Amino acid sequence: MKDNSRGGINLVYPNYYLPLIALLILFCIPLVIKSASWMQIMVLILWYACLTLSWNFVGGFAGVLPMGHAAYAGVGAYVSTLLFINYGLTPWVGMLIGGVISVLVALLIGIPTFKLHGAYYALASIAFVELLRMVTENTKKIFGIKINGARGLLVPLKGHSPFLFQFGEKIYYYYVILAMMLIIFFISYRIQKSKLGYYLVAGGEEQEAAESLGINVTKYKLIALSISAFFMAILGTFYAQLILFIYPQGIMSLSLSFEIAFIAIIGGRGTLMGPILGAFTLVPLAELSRMYLSGSRFLGIHLMLYSSIIILVMLYMPKGLIGAFEKIYFSFTNKLFKKS
């Protein structure tokens, strides 16, 4: 069976059987799961998959290591929520405005920081998200608009109102975030197969060599960062409408940024399916540990589990979980269809 991709075997074309089966299962899950708590977990799994796919534009394809991506989700959540509270603007529109503002913020930060390499860029991104969080936590008003600092913002409850991005049952949120995941995945696939994808991989692996060939590495990294920040902002809006409450430590914290990066690294950064596989593996583990081990004695245990899994993956699966999954999958399909 032929390998038709870069940075991981393409599980979409020509070997499309598994993705179609997986997609069918995802569409049918709400018909099986009736518990609101478990449906919430499924929504969060897909939400994290979307976050990680968005992170992957920069942290995977471009080969850098951003550790402050929660900042862009926070910008989107706050912009859409403030527009909704103060001007009655539907979050469906507010999230697009938040996405544009998030892109501008990303460019403002990315232009100087992309001159840094390796750990220095990671540290710069950490400093940025922490600065934004602290400023938000200590600001009551900005331009006369209340943002309530550390107290956060309550999203006005309007009942079942699809126009205002509010639904009476979790199943609606599930299908919305599933649609978002498919859109981001499709864009990831198209970028990976485009010149932009090749330029990003070249600049991420050998920046000096790529620049010597005339590739403007910084330009293409900024394009990837803009796409990433736009989708992160939209996902921040989704989270705000799902939870109906946002606060700085929840939506723009370092812990969320680290979780996104951990999921991508464990799943397989730079691949198409790695972020999704990582989310479906780690998020249930994290959510169940929060549910059943949430006492003060076990505070932060999900991060300890992440760290342990990262160590094991780095030692035994350098390509991430996707590497082991590919071997099993193609071994099975080769036997099933009798192809070498």
The whole-number pLDDT of residue 295 equals 57
Per-block mean pLDDT, blocks of 10 residues, the chain (340 long) = 42 58 89 88 95 94 89 95 94 96 93 80 87 89 83 90 92 96 94 90 80 85 94 96 92 90 89 91 81 63 72 80 78 63
Contact, 49 vs 280, CB < 8 A?
Answer: yes
Query: Packing angle between helix 170-192 and helix 17-32, nearest 10 degrees?
Result: 170
Q: Shortest CA distance to 197 belongs to which of 56, 9, 15?
A: 56
What one-character-per-residue DSSP string does 240-297 give?
HHHHSEE-HHHHS-HHHHHHHHHHHHHH-TTSSSHHHHHHHHHHHHHHHHHHHS-SGG
- Phi and psi torsions of 88, nearest 5°: 70, 15
The whole-number pLDDT of residue 296 equals 53
The whole-number pLDDT of residue 16 equals 63
The whole-number pLDDT of residue 21 equals 83
Look at the pTM and tell me if it is higher than 0.85: yes
Q: Shortest CA distance to 136 belongs to which of 128, 126, 147, 145?
A: 147
- Phi and psi torsions of 34, nearest 5°: -105, -15
How far is Cα 213 from Cα 207, in angstroms, rounded to an integer? 10
Task: Count other Cβ atoms within 10 Å, centred on residue 26.
Answer: 17
The whole-number pLDDT of residue 298 equals 62
The whole-number pLDDT of residue 304 equals 75
Q: Which amino acid is at 57?
A: F
Q: Which residue has the tokens 């696939």?
A: 189
How far is Cα 75 from Cα 58, in angstroms, rounded to an integer? 18
How far is Cα 109 from Cα 306, in angstroms, rounded to an integer? 28
The whole-number pLDDT of residue 306 equals 67
How far is Cα 262 from Cα 312, in angstroms, rounded to an integer? 13
Give the list of residues 6+ apart from residue 220 with CB closer than 8 angstroms, or none: 62, 196, 199, 200, 203
Q: Shortest CA distance to 259 belongs to which of 222, 188, 307, 201?
A: 307
Structure tokens that stand for 246 in this block: 């946002």
Helix (H) or strand (E) holding 142: strand 141-142
